[in-house]
A and B are shown apart, each in its own frame.
Chain A
Amino acid sequence: RKEVEQDPGPFNVPEGATVAFNCTYSNSASQSFFWYRQDCRKEPKLLMSVYSSGNEDGRFTAQLNRASQYISLLIRDSKLSDSATYLCVVTPNSGNTPLVFGKGTRLSVIA
């Protein structure tokens, strides 16, 4: 079973749309959860950490359900510049431990 699973997409949405990505992870002991963004042929960049209580950063909302081992990312009012691959990332332990990446979900926002 894959450690972190994501729908690969692509998700093609018009500007202004709301889009949601889901992710599941297999290690129930996972400690930290993140969404990273990766543009084509570029490095992953942290979009936001994900907390059990849910958290919001502008147009982006992340949710974590530890019982279901499920993470989500909601993007409201999509912009053309949101087009990228969104990577679900977990760590098996707390602290400075290696990141475990999902394969990513590709988003294309169309004018």
Chain B
Amino acid sequence: EPEVTQTPSHQVTQMGQEVILRCVPISNHLYFYWYRQILGQKVEFLVSFYNNEISEKSEIFDDQFSVERPDGSNFTLKIRSTKLEDSAMYFCASTSGLAGGETQYFGPGTRLLVL
């Protein structure tokens, strides 16, 4: 069964450093998403991406965040200057975009710890 993959599974970084989280969505999917989940909190939407541009973003997704689809398979989330409060689990998700195919499939997540 096709699945969303994410790398790395864990990342530890120093405050102020840049991090890039990588995702490989399911191959024929067209819509991509990033969510985050701070420990003990709910899953929160960050950004959605379609047709090589951001289609929607939340107020969490400020100027320190950016997304990119550098090639036909990867979808990345960059955090330019990490803060302590960026520590969270980051999930990538994708959907096919077809009618009736709006189910979002989640990757296993990247656990980010900012020290």
A binding-site residues for B, Cβ under 8 Å: 32, 38, 41-46, 49, 87, 91, 94-104
Q: Does B65 sit at the interface, judged by CB under 8 A?
A: no
Can you list 26 A-B contacts with CB-CB less than 8 angstroms, sorted by A residue number? A32-B102, A41-B111, A42-B108, A42-B109, A43-B107, A44-B91, A45-B106, A46-B104, A46-B105, A49-B103, A87-B42, A91-B102, A94-B102, A96-B31, A96-B48, A96-B97, A97-B48, A98-B33, A98-B48, A98-B56, A98-B58, A99-B35, A99-B45, A101-B43, A101-B44, A103-B41
- Specify which of B30, B43, B102 is in contact with A87 (CB 8 Å cutoff): B43
* CA gap between A94 and B44 in the complex, in Å: 19
Q: For the complex, count residues of B whose C-beta is within 8 A of A.
A: 26
A96 contacts B50, C-beta separation under 8 Å: yes
Given A96-B102, A98-B58, A101-B44: A43 and B91 interface contact (C-beta under 8 Å): yes
Q: Does B76 sit at the interface, judged by CB under 8 A?
A: no
B binding-site residues for A, Cβ under 8 Å: 30-31, 33, 35, 41-45, 48, 50, 56, 58, 89, 91, 95, 97, 102-109, 111
* CA gap between A95 and B58 in the complex, in Å: 18
Instruction: Work out how many contacts link A and B, with CB atoms closer than 8 A.
Output: 50
A96 contacts B91, C-beta separation under 8 Å: no
B102 contacts A95, C-beta separation under 8 Å: yes
B106 contacts A44, C-beta separation under 8 Å: yes
Find the A residue at minimum CB distance from B98. Answer: A96
Find the A residue at minimum CB distance from B57. Answer: A98
- Specify which of A43, A91, A96, A102 is in contact with B42 (CB 8 Å cutoff): A102
B35 to chain A: which residues have CB within 8 Å? 99
Nearest CB of A to B34, in Å: 10
Q: Give the 10 A-B residue pairs with the shortest CB-CB distance, closest first.
A: A43-B106, A98-B45, A101-B43, A103-B42, A96-B31, A101-B42, A96-B95, A43-B109, A43-B108, A44-B106
B97 to chain A: which residues have CB within 8 Å? 96
Between A41, A42, A43, A91, the greatest number of chain B beta carbons within 10 A of the residue's beta carbon is seen for A43
